[in-house]
Structure 1
Amino acid sequence: MANFTGIECPVCKEKFQMADDVVVCPICGTPHHRECYQKIGRCAFEENHGDGYQWERPYAADQGSASQAGAEESGETVPCPQCGTVNPKDALFCVKCGYNLHAQEQQQNAANYAGMYQAVSPLGGVHPDADIDGVPAAEVAAYVRENSHFYLPRFKALADKTRSVCWSWSACLFHFVYFFYRKMYLLGALLMAVYCACLAPSFIIAGQYVQYMYTAAADATTLFSLDPTSSLSIWFNVSRIVAFGLSILLGMFGTRIYKFCAIRRIKKVKELAKKSGHADVKGLLSQVGGVSRVILVIVLGLFFLSYMGTSFFMALNMFG
């Protein structure tokens, strides 16, 4: 219930006391002694209701002046951002207009509180001591580093056998590039060789088409009339199927492969650290793991140069 202590009754002009029975006009909100309201049978400001009059709490001279004076003397005051009235520092609301003096602070605290959850946990919600194939999750996160919040829940699910497949678009779309990036160099090299082998029929067929066009000025019918039963055509179709199937398999099992390689390497690093007396195991795992952007750039550069070089030499053989 609102506290009207110290405010003047508009009928009897006496100030409300703590024990007084106070009623409020349902239209304008003006407080009255119940006795006074019943005595006149209406609100003291009934004639102003038609003008949209609404009662406002007056500045509490006794209470406000005393507390304001004391606050000003001690230097502990808070100005109301709405009406400018000086209030005691410990006041929750303005003594004049009732504005929440701590509204901005509460909004800032709410923003800071929400901001704490915007930072992504490197463990992705997995407990630091959770077991992932014999390795604590915190050590796995130290090894994975980039996007560990993505991988750890999936590693944990695969380790607990709650999921058999965790789809990886990175492995599906980028093939060997993904494995080089994640420092699985041997597997990356093997997949790169398979990918290049799948490209070979395309190079040969493209070369034949260009040669047909150059030597015989073939029309569109001749250009696309490669015998589908020829060994080259079969090789071309098989290579496309292999490349597509490999993409699907890598998408399905890329995360599992990465988990297997990561766990195996973490255990080797921990064993070596134990033998050598290296104390900072997580720091060592962070150095050994993570990603390799330098190797990624080198591999892509070599692949591009190989592609361009092969195209160039094929052109020389055809037209030279």
Structure 2
Amino acid sequence: MPKYYGCPCEGCGEPLTLKDDIVVCPDCGAPYHRTCYEKLGRCIHSPAHAAGYEWHFPYQDAELRTCPSCGERTLRSEETCRCCGAALPPETEADEQLNDRKAAQDEQHGGFDYERFYRQYEQQTMDPLHRNLQAAFGKDELIDGIPSSDWMTYIGTAAPAYLNDYSRMQLQHTKISLSFSALLFGPFYFFYRKAWKPAFAFLAAELLLFVPTLLQMMQITGSSLSLGLSDSTYVVLGRVVSLASFALMLVRGMFAKWFYRKSAAEHIRRIRAEFPDDAQRSVVLSAQGGVSWGAVLGSLLLLMVFGACCSMLLGPNLDVLLNALS
């Protein structure tokens, strides 16, 4: 049977039927009516998720029988099927009806029930990613109004990991999702992911935080452009820059996936507007999405140019600076 049909909804306790719109918690697998889940706003087992809680099918095989009307399994103790609502005849009579139905199907398909086989195969191989997306974004799997298929084409090979994170963020109503790549590599993460706006914004922020250090270097080397600030002022500026750098690193690491999501959504919408044909759009999404080592190398070259420009502002006493650094 489909794993959740006939099981009680974790929100209201009523059985989940064939007609219900069922959503599943991506963390523990607990099933809900969609309306119940939306009313709760989260899984009722969320406090136990960190401890590894997993939902389990609540019934034993001995408690179940097969419904002759829908072919799904339901409780022996009830008079109506929990899956389709049909009245259940005495179990011996039900078994005869089910055997007759199976025999007719086997005869129709040359001795093998292909319909049942493929239905069971589809149920057993249901993609967990799509189950998570449906739980978070609905049956149409529209993330920010964009089909998940376009997201997967645009993001590339890392799409399952990102879309799973987006599903969790959607269900938990949060923008936070830790990215170690963004935490360690800074703006280069966004250049690698072709998220141009956050890439240049974080790069500009890093360069701005370098300004106090540059001013101090200009003063040490006797540059005519130095501001002549006191040493105590530079100490205070250094502490402020250290705190700001740490805060910027945390923001980058905690919100990087959300920034990337917004940047990617903007690009995908533009491509969808320009290329309504599915085949052409898929090619363009794949070409303009994905990752770019060239962008990373370009950003490094940009930093080298910036460093060269900064060196031109230094004064003639470079040996003093070298002695201070050593």
TM-score (norm 1): 0.49
TM-score (norm 2): 0.48
The structure with the largest alpha-carbon Rg is 1
